[in-house]
Amino acid sequence: QGSAAANAPFTPGMPSQPSQSSDEGPGRGRISRLDLNNFKSYGGKTTLGPFLDFSAVVGPNGAGKSNFMDAISFAVGVQSKDLRGRQLKDLIYRSTTDDGTEERSAAVTLVYECDGAETKFTRGIKKDGVGEYRIDGKACKWEAYSARLKSLGVLTQAHTGFLVFQGYVAELASKSPADLTKLFEEVSGSGELKPEYERLEAEKKQAEEDQVFNHQKKKGLTAEKNSMKKQKEEAEKYTSLQERRKELQQKQYLLKLFSIEREVASLLNERQAVDDDFEAASGRHGAAEDEVKGHEKEKAGLSRKSTELERKVVQLQQQMEGKNPAFIKLREEISHVQKRRLMHEKSLGKVKTTYAATQKEVAQLESEHAQISEAIARLEGESAAAEESGELQLSKQQRDEYNRLKQEAGSKTAALKEEMQAKKRELRSEDHLLVQLRTRTAELAAEMTAVEAKLAAFDERKQGSSDRAAELRAAVQKAQQEQEKHRGEGAQARERHAELSSEVTQVREKLRTHKADKHETEKGKRSSEHLENMQRLFPGVHGRVIELCKPSQKKYNAAVTIAMGKNMDAIVVDNEAAAQDCIRYLKEKKGAPETFVPLDTIRTTPIAERCRCLGGSKRPVIDVITINDERFLRAIQYAVGDALVCDSLDEARKLAYHGTGGERYKVVTIDGTVINKAGLMTGGSSGSERARAARWNQQEYDTLKVSEASMTQELVAIGSLHRSAEREQAAAHRLESKQQELKTAEADLNITKGKVAKLTADQQAARKAHAKAADEMKGLQATRGQQEAGVQALVERCNKEEDRVFASFSKGLKLGSVREYEQNSLQQEKEKELQALELKTQVDKIGSKLKFEQKKDLKGAIQKLEASIASDTELLEAKAAEQAKAEKKSAAAAAAKAAKAAAATKAAAGSATGAAAGASPSPAPPAKKGGSRA
């Protein structure tokens, strides 16, 4: 089992060195002896020593070597768990005949010698299991005990500097870097600086987090900058579209102006009809204007009387009050006159503007009147000339005969012609009205056509706007759904990303722990490679024992590991042939020796059933192992044998030393303590054994690796949070853009609907007006047809009478009738009559307008207003002079009144002073400046 040594001289906290000369520096000492009392296997009081400069303890297993080293460790303050005991009572000596009812105490005294002086360090265990500490026989607390040891250089937490336990070197070799670092810190004493180190480590971690945060912030700002750049480009695009929109609006307005010009032309035609109505109303207006002028004169008289009365009222009020000075009255009068003059000036400006416009219009009307009058005279001259040139060349006798017959026919048809002329006059008057109705009907038809064209265009525009609005509403709804989708996905991604990041961190922390515990050596890697190759090359190679089973609970890991021993790494094969093939392969590859367990030849002893009925926590080791496949049961049973496992050391001792029937068992506790069948006890699991026990967690390690890979892959699939934020921003921007487009489309649709409604109303009104005008025209045409029939009947009667009178005359001239002679003259006369009628109508209109404008008498009104302004100006000058005179007079009166008041005050002061002087014989005190008080 090896050996342990206590070396002298003793250098506390460090490995011992061989003895040197006695004149070495101060602080060097050694262990002189050990006094033991009931400690572990040392019953009663036992003294070990004195020790030499170099001492070695040797002996067979169970002789007490380890307990001797535990005594030294116990004395310098090592905890009981490191001394193969769960509690301090486990370190008290128990004999094989002890039934465990007697309470005992134990103690270990370490005599430390330095420069000839001895110091006794005693650590004891009371009967109740409580520890106690003494220095040179004096009781003290653990803090003082540890401080005294520390002053000698003995660091309790770093006991490994001078105590080397069984398997400790192998345990050091298998330690992880973190454990080695912790050990060096304990040995060197740098563990005291751990709080400061952890504080600085926290600051460093915080600084790193701040750096990461700033980096992420920088990335966010960069993304925001890119987003702003895109928004700038979109804004520039929007500005260009706005300019394009303005150009299109300008063209649209030009089209509207063109339409308006056409409407203006139509309205001008309507205005012509209104002017005709205006002429009829002009006469009525003139009479009403004369009546208004009469009323205005009456109003002016009443206004003057009212002003006089108001002035008298003010005077009477001033007289009644008797307080208002005269210049207040003048001020009010001046204000009144100024307001009146200002009103007259404003009226004068308006009247002059109207007069200028009227004069211009009158000049234009007179020019038009002169032109039309000349046209009428010219037409009459042409008519006379046409009559003279249209007569046939008749002889004087024929002309006299024609004239005589004409007079005779005229006398006979006078009544008919008079009646016919009356009817023709009625027809001519109705012709003018019929022309107006035809014009109005044509205008209304054109207006209806224009309105229908506009209405069709706006209907088409309305449909297009409605379709566009519907598309935009669908697009807005889709954009809202996309935004909600991206927002939800972003939230889920962020939440899932945070969850996965936390889980990955935890899994990686566990993996780091497993890696530290695993600490696979290069030799182990080569062995694993050889095993994989053998499993691939040779059938029947199943793997190592540790790979084919596992403890049913983790608390049995150490016990199963100790029970299996080296068989834990044995390779299970089907038969010896497979084992021989593997051995040859290892020799060829120069691999490390391996133990093989062939399933067909191994021999095992079944576990007795009584071992399963021992009670308590005692049970066979094979029963706490879960086997992957029942065919490997014999191999696992071979590995653990008939070993038993129990939870506590007391149960293990009772089972090993006090078993029924004198049967001895190999017992293993869950902390790794082994009591073999010979009764020898080997202390708890060492570092190497704990490392081997940790290999049972390999399956958990593999599961963690798979989980880490899966979560890492999912994190990559989720993508960065920045891309999710960009998708959300893009969706929000699209939604805002579509909403703005929808708002514009709906506004255009509402405007178009308003236009359509207005045009529909205009269309209906135009249809009604057109139908009304058409009905009036039809009625007028029917009446005119009846009148034309009457005129035609009168013409035929006149023609018959004239034919009878001119029968011989027409026969002599070889004419069918005298009307052939007169036809050309009459036709020309009719055309000229129509022209003359139209010109006279225009002359009448212009004359009516001239009369209306001349009746306004704006020039007289201007003269009256100028006279009123001049009169008010003169009156203001007079009132201003009177006001200045009144103010001067008032100022003089006020000055006189002030002087009189000052004199009265002075006189009153003098009389008061005299009275005071006469009343007292003593001299009066001098009066203060400013006079005496009354």
DSSP string, 486-503: HHHHHHHHHHHHHHHHHH
CB atoms within 10 A of CB 330: 19
Share of the chain above pLDDT 90, in %: 9
What Cα–Cα distance (Å) separates residue 99 from each residue in 95, 96, 106, 654? 9, 8, 18, 9
CA distance 923 to 916: 10
pLDDT of residue 570: 93
For residues 232 and 139, state if they share a domain.
no
pLDDT of residue 183: 79
Q: Which two tokens stand for residue 432?
A: 């003018």
For residues 295 and 360, state if they share a domain.
yes
For residues 681-693, average pLDDT:
61
Q: Which two tokens stand for residue 421?
A: 């002329």
The two beta strands, 4-7 and 106-114, are unpaired
Q: For residue 245, is it within any domain?
A: yes
For residues 219 and 306, state if they share a domain.
yes
pLDDT of residue 160: 47
On whether the CB atoms of residues 674 and 681 are closer than 8 A, the answer is: yes
Q: How far is CA 43 from the centre of its chain?
A: 83
**pLDDT (tens digit per residue) in 615-664:** 788 889 999 899 888 889 989 999 988 889 998 888 888 887 776 666 77
| Least confident residue range of 20-34, 471-485, 863-877 | 20-34
pLDDT of residue 437: 77
For residues 130 and 200, state if they share a domain.
no
Q: For residue 820, is it within any domain?
A: no
Q: Which residues lie below 8 Å from residue 122, measured CB to CB, with a gap of 6+?
A: 75, 107, 108, 109, 110, 133, 134, 135, 137
pLDDT of residue 857: 66
For residues 262 and 335, state if they share a domain.
yes
CA distance 691 to 171: 8
List the 541-544 sheet strands across, edge first.
541-544, 571-573, 596-598
Q: How far is CA 13 from the centre of its chain?
A: 67
Closest by CA to 825, choosing from 390, 381, 389, 380, is 390
Q: For residue 400, is it within any domain?
A: no
pLDDT of residue 897: 57
CA distance 787 to 692: 139
- Averaged pLDDT of the chain: 77
| 873 phi, psi to nearest 5 deg | -65, -45
CB atoms within 10 A of CB 643: 24
Q: 395 or 870: whose pLDDT is higher?
A: 870
| Least confident residue range of 66-70, 250-254, 706-710, 726-730 | 726-730
**pLDDT (tens digit per residue) in 746-769:** 888 888 888 888 888 888 888 888
Q: Which residues lie below 8 Å from residue 366, measured CB to CB, with a gap of 6+?
A: 850
For residues 526 and 635, state if they share a domain.
yes
Evaluate if residue 926 carries a pLDDT over 50: no
**pLDDT (tens digit per residue) in 216-239:** 888 888 888 988 998 899 899 999
| Least confident residue range of 274-283, 691-700, 804-813 | 691-700
pLDDT of residue 243: 92
Q: How confident is the model at residue 828 (pLDDT cuts 50, 70, 90)?
A: low
On whether the CB atoms of residues 932 and 924 are closer than 8 A, the answer is: no
For residues 113 and 246, state if they share a domain.
no
For residues 674 and 541, state if they share a domain.
yes
Q: 35 or 925: whose pLDDT is higher?
A: 35
Sequence-separated contacts (24+) of 304-313 with Cβ below 8 Å: none
Evaluate if residue 165 carries a pLDDT over 70: no
Sequence-separated contacts (24+) of 196-201 with Cβ below 8 Å: none
Q: Transcribe 764-829 into DSSP letters.
A: HHHHHHHHHHHHHHHHHHHHHHHHHHHHHHHHHHHHHHHHHHTHHHHHHTT-S-THHHHHHHHHHH
Helix (H/G/I), strand (E/B), else coil: 674: strand
Evaluate if residue 531 carries a pLDDT over 80: yes
Helix (H/G/I), strand (E/B), else coil: 138: strand
The two beta strands, 131-135 and 571-573, are unpaired
CB atoms within 10 A of CB 130: 11
On whether the CB atoms of residues 890 and 327 are closer than 8 A, the answer is: yes
Helix (H/G/I), strand (E/B), else coil: 844: helix
What is the number of structural domains in the chain?
3
Q: Which residues lie below 8 Å from residue 380, measured CB to CB, with a gap of 6+?
A: 836
Maximum average pLDDT range among 528-542, 708-722, 774-788: 528-542
Residue length of the chain:
934
Q: 333 or 798: whose pLDDT is higher?
A: 798
pLDDT of residue 574: 92
Q: How far is CA 486 from the centre of its chain?
A: 13
Q: Which residues lie below 8 Å from residue 327, measured CB to CB, with a gap of 6+?
A: 883, 886, 887, 890
Beta bridge partners of 125: 106, 131
Q: How confident is the model at residue 688 (pLDDT cuts 50, 70, 90)?
A: low
Share of the chain above pLDDT 70, in %: 77
What Cα–Cα distance (Å) separates residue 163 from each residue in 16, 155, 514? 10, 11, 28
Closest by CA to 874, choosing from 295, 334, 279, is 334
For residues 665 and 548, state if they share a domain.
yes
CATH number at residue 603: 3.30.70.1620
**pLDDT (tens digit per residue) in 456-494:** 878 887 888 888 888 888 888 888 888 888 788 777 777
For residues 350-368, average pLDDT:
80
CB atoms within 10 A of CB 691: 20
pLDDT of residue 818: 63
Evaluate if residue 899 carries a pLDDT over 80: no
Ramachandran bin of 341, using left for φ above 0, alpha for ψ from -120 to 50, beta for the remaining angles: alpha
Q: Which domain holds residue 888?
A: 196-370+844-905
For residues 211-217, average pLDDT:
86
pLDDT of residue 328: 58
Q: For residue 244, is it within any domain?
A: yes
On whether the CB atoms of residues 59 and 621 are closer than 8 A, the answer is: no
For residues 287 and 361, state if they share a domain.
yes
Q: For residue 698, is it within any domain?
A: yes
CA distance 266 to 274: 13
SS (H, E, C) 753-769: HHHHHHHHHHHHHHHHH
Q: 795 or 253: whose pLDDT is higher?
A: 253
Buried b (16+ CB within 10 A) or exposed e, 246-256: eeeeeeeeeee
Q: For residue 753, is it within any domain?
A: no
Q: 429 or 760: whose pLDDT is higher?
A: 760
Find the helix or strand (DSSP H, E) in which 397 lies. helix 396-412
pLDDT of residue 720: 54
Q: How far is CA 713 from the centre of its chain?
A: 31
Evaluate if residue 824 carries a pLDDT over 70: no
- Write the DSSP symbol of residue 365: H
| Least confident residue range of 24-28, 332-336, 419-423, 679-683 | 24-28
Q: How confident is the model at residue 5 (pLDDT cuts 50, 70, 90)?
A: very low
**pLDDT (tens digit per residue) in 311-349:** 776 666 555 444 445 555 666 678 777 777 787 787 788
Q: For residue 403, is it within any domain?
A: no
User: Cα 51–57–58 angle (5° rounding)?
Assistant: 155
Q: How confident is the model at residue 821 (pLDDT cuts 50, 70, 90)?
A: low
Find the helix or strand (DSSP H, E) in which 61 lies. none
CA distance 347 to 760: 45
pLDDT of residue 541: 92
Buried b (16+ CB within 10 A) or exposed e, 441-469: bebbebbbebbeebbeebeebbeebeebb
For residues 669 and 556, state if they share a domain.
yes
CA distance 414 to 317: 84
On whether the CB atoms of residues 644 and 650 are closer than 8 A, the answer is: no
For residues 143 and 225, state if they share a domain.
no
pLDDT of residue 816: 61
**pLDDT (tens digit per residue) in 904-916:** 545 544 443 343 3
| Amino acid identity for residue 409 in this structure | A
Q: For residue 381, is it within any domain?
A: no
